[in-house]
């Protein structure tokens, strides 16, 4: 079986690492590809190309950089089904779901690139004394993007738009679990050599990349544990880091909502992508007035999430990414049961091949349980009954994470109060979505660095001011 190659300076080439890793289809447990383990030599080589390519890329007119990004988006949009199938084989995501997220990411790439056209890369402030200041936003230089496996293609597309449009070059290191779709994504590139480079591997490639002396920014999406290491390394070397990490997102369900519709929405938020979304709904606080009806409807909705191979168009619940992830899910459910939780549905794994886990609803849960405090990243939703909306809001806010939150309520005062939850984004009466103007910085352990709309351009550029004194007599 051929080992996947790196893309460096526009050329596909073998890794210098001499080691390899397996890619296993999580639905069948079959070996489907090999990739290099990665090494510092590969990273050095890629960084040299990125540093060399950067001045010429930044010197292109902005409109041309934006047009080149659109050309990539055009190419990707013609291969959405193929990319979704690769994602399915490498990490289990059902193909229909994969297609819809890749479509969304391509649209997002276009919007993000176009936002460069309204970004103030240069402003001049004139003063009454005749002096003026030019406020410039320079590209940072060569940057690193390190991505997780749960949305392989969208994660890369989401990070690259503002970095490239600002005139930076990039070295990308995708997750070792999901290299196939990223390799294909980069085969569709038509940017000048060295502007985007790809280095494959695990931490053996990620660590030297994140700590490379030539990088000016590391944009990392992944676990809190790895994020802390990357943040510490960035602090040591004084380069910028944007860290988009894990979550334990709460949902508050108020009295007076459409209970059945809300339960259906919560089932989707908890189970889609097999619960492996950083903003998956991971703990629910439901008002006691609607609790019984809500749990019954949630259990009924969970019954519609049957497991299967994601290549089958009818599958709604693919496997977890690997056995390690399934172990985490098992451990959280077992811990909850041992501490008094009730499994209302799910909890029993199907027999046979594949890292499957059923849609699971837990009740009688509290904050002594891992499933209520640590990221589970699986199709498990713990539901806790609260005696008031206020109590729901207070418990939703009590977490070391602060990525996103969702509130279902018809009460106008409660809609306003939803903003009190410390989170980068709070959705009210929907989950996911929002306009292109949204800006976020995760709270707590969920990360640091604001992104979204012009905030992504602030993160991708360095401001500098040139003061020009008034000329005497002018
Ligand atoms: P992970 O931290 O294990 O790996 C993420 C990436 O970092 C991979 O490419 C990996 O190879 C690399 N890596 C591992 N060790 C490294 C090191 N020492 N130095 C540099 N790179 C290293 O995370 P994962 O399991 O791939 O992803 C799941 C996590 O990602 C979850 O916690 C999830 O919540 C989070 N996530 C967050 C967001 C967000 O936007 N906040 C989005 C998606 C996923």
Going from the Cα of 332 to the center of ligand 1, the distance in angstroms, rounded, reads 20
Instruction: Give pLDDT tens digits for 194-210.
Output: 999 999 999 999 999 99
Residue 174 CA: which ligand 1 atom is closest?
9
Burial class (CB in 10 A: 0-12, 13-18, 19+), 5: middle
Spatial contact of 62 and 85, defined as CB atoms under 8 Å apart:
no
Domain 249-428, second-level architecture? 3-Layer(aba) Sandwich (3.40)
Spatial contact of 175 and 152, defined as CB atoms under 8 Å apart:
yes
Residue 374 annotated to the active site: no
- How would you write the pLDDT of the chain (474 residues) with one tens digit per residue? 889 999 999 999 999 999 999 999 999 999 999 999 999 999 999 999 999 999 999 999 999 999 999 999 999 999 999 999 999 999 999 999 999 999 999 999 999 999 999 999 999 999 999 999 999 999 999 999 999 999 999 999 999 999 999 999 999 999 999 999 999 999 999 899 999 999 999 999 999 999 999 999 999 999 999 999 999 999 999 999 999 999 999 999 999 999 999 999 999 999 999 999 999 999 999 999 999 999 999 999 999 999 999 999 999 999 999 999 999 999 999 999 999 999 999 999 999 999 999 999 999 999 999 999 999 999 999 999 999 999 999 999 999 999 999 999 999 999 999 999 999 999 999 999 888 999 999 999 999 999 999 999 999 999 999 999 998 876
Going from the Cα of 246 to the center of ligand 1, the distance in angstroms, rounded, reads 9
* Whole-Å CA distances, 146 to 152, 158, 236, 468: 11, 12, 18, 40
In the chain, domain spans? 2-245+446-466, 249-428
Residue identifier of the C-alpha nearest atom 16 of ligand 1: 203
Measured distance CA(367)–CA(49) in Å, rounded = 50
CB atoms closer than 10 angstroms to residue 412:
8
Residue 88 annotated to the active site: no
Catalytic site residue from 39, 85, 211, 278:
278
Instruction: Give pLDDT tens digits for 322-378.
Output: 999 999 999 999 999 999 999 999 999 999 999 999 999 999 999 999 999 999 999
* Any atom of ligand 1 within 6 Å of the Cβ of 37: no
CATH assignment, 2-245+446-466: 3.40.605.10
* Any atom of ligand 1 within 6 Å of the Cβ of 245: yes
Residue 177 CA: which ligand 1 atom is closest?
26
Catalytic site residue from 87, 90, 244, 374:
244
């Amino acid at each position: 079986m051929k080992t996947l190659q790196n893309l460096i300076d526009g050329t596909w080439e073998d890794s210098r690492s001499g080691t390899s890793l397996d890619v296993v289809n999580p639905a069948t447990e079959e070996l489907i590809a090999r990739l290099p383990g990665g090494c510092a030599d590969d990273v050095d080589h890629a960084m040299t190309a990125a540093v060399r390519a950067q001045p010429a890329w930044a010197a292109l007119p902005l409109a041309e950089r934006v047009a080149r990004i659109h050309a990539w988006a055009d190419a990707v949009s013609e291969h959405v089904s193929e990319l979704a199938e690769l994602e399915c084989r490498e990490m289990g995501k059902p193909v229909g779901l994969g297609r819809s997220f890749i479509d969304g990411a391509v649209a997002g790439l276009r919007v993000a690139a176009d936002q460069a056209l309204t970004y103030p890369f240069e402003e001049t402030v004139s003063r009454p004394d005749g002096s003026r200041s030019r406020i410039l936003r320079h590209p940072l230089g060569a940057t690193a993007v390190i991505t997780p496996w749960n949305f392989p293609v969208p994660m890369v597309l989401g990070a690259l738009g503002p970095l490239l449009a600002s005139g930076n070059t990039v070295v990308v290191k995708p997750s070792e679990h999901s290299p196939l779709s990223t390799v294909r994504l980069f085969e569709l590139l038509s940017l000048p050599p060295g502007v985007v480079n790809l280095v494959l591997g695990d931490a053996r490639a990620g660590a030297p990349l994140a700590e490379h002396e030539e990088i000016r920014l590391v944009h990392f999406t992944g676990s809190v544990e790895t994020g802390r290491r990357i943040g510490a390394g960035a602090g040591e070397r004084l380069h910028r880091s944007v860290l988009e990490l894990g979550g334990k997102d709460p949902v508050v369900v108020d009295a007076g909502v459409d209970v059945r519709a809300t339960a259906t929405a919560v089932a989707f938020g908890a189970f889609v992508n097999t619960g492996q979304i950083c903003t998956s709904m991971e703990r629910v606080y439901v008002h006691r007035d609607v609790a019984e009806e809500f749990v019954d409807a949630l259990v009924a909705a969970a019954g519609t999430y049957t497991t299967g191979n994601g290549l089958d168009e009818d599958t709604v619940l693919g496997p977890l990414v690997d056995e390690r992830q399934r172990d985490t899910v098992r451990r959280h459910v077992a811990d909850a049961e041992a501490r008094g939780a009730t499994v209302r549905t799910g909890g029993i794994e199907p027999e046979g091949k594949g890292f499957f886990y059923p849609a699971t609803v837990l009740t009688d849960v509290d904050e002594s349980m891992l499933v209520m405090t640590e990221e589970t990243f699986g199709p498990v939703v713990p539901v806790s009954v609260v005696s008031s909306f206020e109590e729901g809001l207070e418990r939703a806010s009590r977490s070391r994470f602060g990525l996103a939150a969702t509130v279902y309520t018809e009460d106008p005062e409660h809609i306003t109060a939803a903003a009190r939850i410390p989170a980068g984004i709070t959705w009210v009466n929907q989950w996911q979505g929002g306009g292109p103007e949204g800006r976020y910085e995760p709270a707590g352990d969920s990360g640091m660095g604001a992104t979204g709309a012009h905030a992504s351009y602030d993160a991708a550029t360095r401001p500098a001011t040139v003061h020009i004194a008034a000329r005497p007599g002018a």
